[in-house]
Amino acid sequence: MMSRFKVIACVIAVAAISAASWWQYSCNEKLRRENDVLRAEIARLKQFQEIYESSAVGESESSTQAQLEELAKLRDEAARLGEQSNRMADLLGANKKLVASLQDLKASPADKTKHAEDALPQDIHPQNTWAYRGYATPEATIESLYWAILTGDKAKLVEAYSPELQSKMKTGLDQRDFQLKAITDATEFRILDRQQLSRDEMVLTVCLIWTDAQGNKVEDTGHPYFKRINGEWKGANHASP
């Protein structure tokens, strides 16, 4: 009996051990599967984290690059505006100088230091070449004016002046002989300089040359002012508007 009991006990013990082993194996397998699932989930989460961090860095770098590009554009625009401001300042300075120069010309319109010998060959006009040249240029007007005085043509002389001076000229011519000796005795006149005051204003520096009774050469330099009126250059009052 004892022997059979021992056999049964041994069988039971073996069965129990086998059952325990199987249960332990089953638990281990379950834990291994769960562990694999956890590892896979951790790996997936890690992958997602890397992707997110990479995306965040990329966005940050992209944002920084965009800001740098915008800053570069602003710097270029500031430099361009600075250059324009400098050019504007230069233009304003040049304009002020030009205005001051024109004011000086109107106050003292011609260079009085020039002499007859400074005239160019084409600006020397001997008396025997004088003629009525019309009024298309200040040079033509001054020669027409001298020619009118030389020949005694009152009408042409009056025509050489602006409308506001013509009535005064007529009154003056009616009261005296207008054949000025300085003109009639002149051997030539020379244009020494031209000062363009504006598109329609010019001052000539004109030198009349004649010989006095003692045979001395005399030079008389004047600065007649001319104004363009209806396309013709007429002698005018320099102070007139």
Q: Which residue segment(s) compose the domain that 157 sits in?
A: 116-235
Q: Identify the domain boundary among 107, 125, 155.
A: 107
Domain presence at residue 152: yes
What is residue 168's predicted lDDT score, i.e. its pLDDT?
78
Do 134 and 35 reside in the same domain of the chain?
Answer: no
Helix (H) or strand (E) holding 239: none
What is the distance between the alpha carbons of residues 122 and 15, in angstroms, rounded to a whole number? Answer: 143
Tens-level pLDDT at each residue, the chain (241 residues): 444 444 444 444 444 455 555 555 566 666 667 667 667 767 666 665 666 556 555 555 555 777 777 777 777 776 776 676 677 677 767 766 766 666 665 555 444 577 888 899 999 999 999 999 999 999 999 999 999 888 888 888 889 999 988 887 777 666 555 556 667 788 899 999 999 999 999 999 999 998 888 888 888 899 999 999 999 999 998 754 4
What is residue 50's predicted lDDT score, i.e. its pLDDT?
62
DSSP state of 119: S
What is residue 11's predicted lDDT score, i.e. its pLDDT?
42
DSSP state of 210: E
Domain presence at residue 19: yes
Domain presence at residue 154: yes
CA dihedral 131, 184, 203, 199 (to 10 degrees): -20
Give 194's contacts (C-beta < 8 A, 6+ positions apart): 138, 202, 203, 204, 205
The pair of structure tokens assigned to 26 is 């089953």
Do 77 and 176 reside in the same domain of the chain?
Answer: no
Helix (H) or strand (E) holding 217: strand 217-222
Do 17 and 44 reside in the same domain of the chain?
Answer: yes
Q: Look up the CATH number of the domain holding residue 208.
A: 3.10.450.50
Do 100 and 149 reside in the same domain of the chain?
Answer: no
Rg (CA), the chain: 55
Where are the extended beta strands (E) located within the chain? Answer: 124-126, 186-198, 201-211, 217-222, 225-229, 232-235
Domain presence at residue 131: yes
What is residue 7's predicted lDDT score, i.e. its pLDDT?
42
Q: Identify the domain boundary among 73, 88, 107.
A: 107
b/e map 212-234, b = 16+ CB within 10 Å: eeeeeeeeebebbbbbbeeebbb
Residue identified by tokens 């291994």 is 32
What is residue 86's predicted lDDT score, i.e. its pLDDT?
72
Domain presence at residue 241: no
SS3 221: strand
What is residue 121's predicted lDDT score, i.e. its pLDDT?
92
Do 86 and 7 reside in the same domain of the chain?
Answer: yes
The pair of structure tokens assigned to 28 is 């281990």
Q: How many domains does the chain have?
A: 2
b/e map 83-93, b = 16+ CB within 10 Å: eeeeeeeeeee
Q: Tell me, yes or no, if the pTM score tops 0.75.
A: no
